[in-house]
Homo-oligomer: A and B are copies of this chain.
Amino acid sequence: MASPAKVDLITLGDELLLGIRENSHLKFIGGELARHGLALRRNTSCRDTRDEIIQAFREAWMTADIVITTGGLGPTSDDNTREVIAHCLGLELDFVPEIEETIRARFDRMGRTMSENNLKQCYLPRGAELLPNPYGTAPGIYLQLEGKRLFMLPGPASELRPMFKEQVLTRICADGFCSLDDAYLQIRTMGVGESALETKLLPILNANPDVQVAYCAHQGMVDLRLSLDSMPIDFERLRAVGDECREVLGPDFVCFGHCHLAKAIFNYLRAHERTLSVAESCTGGLLSNAFTDIPGASKVFAGGFVCYSNESKMEMLGVPECILQQHGAVSAECAVAMADGAAERLGTDYALSVTGFAGPCGGTPENPVGTIYIGYHSPLGSWCVRMVRPGERTTVKTLAVNRALDVMRRKLHKYNLGEALACECKAEEAEVAE
């Protein structure tokens, strides 16, 4: 393979720049390309206005080999990507009756009538190829011109994602720009900061100067991705370096790959035919959700209690009133009673519980906002871990969930269950709420 293709992504839409919508296409498309060995060079998000689209498109088209645009193919008046880019390239737009038929049929199936403004979506730049959209009304557009490739995709994620995998990735893999194999080895760690991690792994990485490494800290975890300059990737070599890192990291090593912490626990419990329940207060459902995001969760996960008040802790979990009175709901005693109660109510082998002050209100001098108690029930006994991590409410909740999962993972690891936990899981399986 020659030098890697330059791929630029242009994400269009005022809503991206005005804080209305997350630019989730960047993460998705960047991740898919990286997994197959093609690094996205640049992403430009620009507004729906003609001038901005022209500028962003011209810059990308001038130097990139592949340009992907998202958005602006819809039926409303601010959707004009098709028109502006066709103009930029000096191409006429042709009305394609087949597109109209497809859209009308789709509306019929939904029992709705097509609006006249949907007719905008039936035009195609001359010489372009239609990318059928079975998931929505706006078809995509594919064009080869001047030795470059242009893919225009609709904005909604539920349409773009399958279309990207089925129609874009397959085309650029077939054209030799990237491979269907994995192109890097990711090591997921938890419990060690980014710079301490770099320091810890420096001897290994210095001894392997051809191995490139990228770090990313997120939600209490730090991922590092090992890759090599040369293609195709010598995966055995990467894995050997990865194994050295794992040795040094000890229990801070979570897995190779993209596994969510919950998935690592799920894999272990499933392999050992053990069950789990959850009781949570301040995380409000997110701990349960971490497990229920896993397809087939019910094989391990029996259920979760979201008990927000003292009454619900007593009613749902049988937490003794005297514990709540003497120690309060945010206490080690309550966390353990919650975990024990959940395990007992649902007859599970293991249970995890979380209680704490997520903020902005609540908190006491001993347990300020950001204080979380994590309870862990297992066949070997029950434990509690306390953490304090002030911050925004939603951040505290996410960190508390990950810390609770990590407490359980480490306990399992301690009893020499590391091998079962450090499973490799396909990135596809791990597309959970990260």
In chain B, what residue has the closest Cβ to A32?
Answer: B19
A44 touches B42 (CB 8 A): yes
A74 proximal to B (CB < 8 A): yes
Q: Mark contacts of A288-326 with chain B using CB atoms, 8 A cut-off: 1 yes-contact digit, 0 otherwise.
A: 110111011110011111111101100110000000000
The docked-state distance in angstroms from the alpha carbon of A117 to that of B195 is: 7
Q: Is the C-beta of A118 less than 8 angstroms from some C-beta in chain B?
A: yes
- Closest B-chain residue to A277, C-beta based? B312
When chains A and B are docked, how far (Å) is the Cα of A308 from the Cα of B194?
37
The reply to whether B76 and A295 form a contact with Cβ atoms under 8 Å apart is no
Tell me, yes or no, whether A218 is within 8 Å of chain B by CB. yes
A17 at the interface (CB under 8 A from B): yes
Does A333 sit within 8 A of B, measured CB to CB? Answer: no
Contact of A288 among B33, B75, B284 (CB under 8 A): B284
Tally of contact residues, A, Cβ under 8 A:
103
A287 contacts across to B, CB distance below 8 A = 285
Are B391 and A158 touching (Cβ within 8 A)?
yes
Chain B residues positioned under 8 Å from A297 (CB to CB): 284, 308
Segment of A21-29, A80-88, A263-271, A371-379 in the binding face: A21-29
Name which of A45, A285, A289 has the most chain B CB atoms within 10 A of its CB: A285
Chain B residues whose C-beta falls within 8 Å of the C-beta of A296 in the assembled complex: 361
Q: Which residues of B contact A21 (CB under 8 A)?
A: 27, 216, 218
- Give the most central of A157, A301, A302, A311: most B CB within 10 Å: A302
Q: Are B315 and A345 in contact (CB under 8 A)?
A: yes
Cα of A346 to Cα of B309 in the assembled complex, Å: 10
Whether a CB of chain B sits under 8 angstroms from the CB of A433 is yes
A32, A35, A198, most chain B CB atoms within 10 A: A198
Known: A42-B46, A214-B20, A306-B305. A76 touches B432 (CB 8 A): no
Contacting residue for A19 out of B35, B284, B394, CB 8 A: B35
CA distance A19 to B42 in the complex (A): 12
Determine whether the beta carbon of B198 is less than 8 Å from that of A76: yes
A199 at the interface (CB under 8 A from B): yes
> 0/1 per residue, A8-51, Cβ < 8 Å to B?
00000111111111111011111111110001111111110000
User: Contacts of A46 on B, CB cut-off 8 Å?
Assistant: 41-43
Q: Is the CB of B23 within 8 A of A195?
A: no
Contact of A285 among B44, B217, B289 (CB under 8 A): B289
Tell whether A306 pairs with B284 under 8 Å between CB atoms, given A19-B27, A19-B30, A23-B27. Answer: no
- CA distance in complex: A29, B156 (Å): 22
Inter-subunit contact B74/A195 (CB<8 Å): yes
Interface status of A223 (Cβ within 8 A of chain B): yes
A78 CB–B CB distance under 8 Å: yes
Q: Mark A152-184, 1 if CB is under 8 A from B, else 0.
A: 000011100100000000000000000000000
Contacts A298-B308, A306-B306, A311-B346 known; 15 new A-B pairs at CB < 8 A: A17-B26, A19-B29, A19-B31, A19-B35, A21-B218, A23-B27, A42-B56, A115-B195, A285-B287, A285-B306, A289-B289, A292-B308, A293-B397, A303-B312, A304-B304
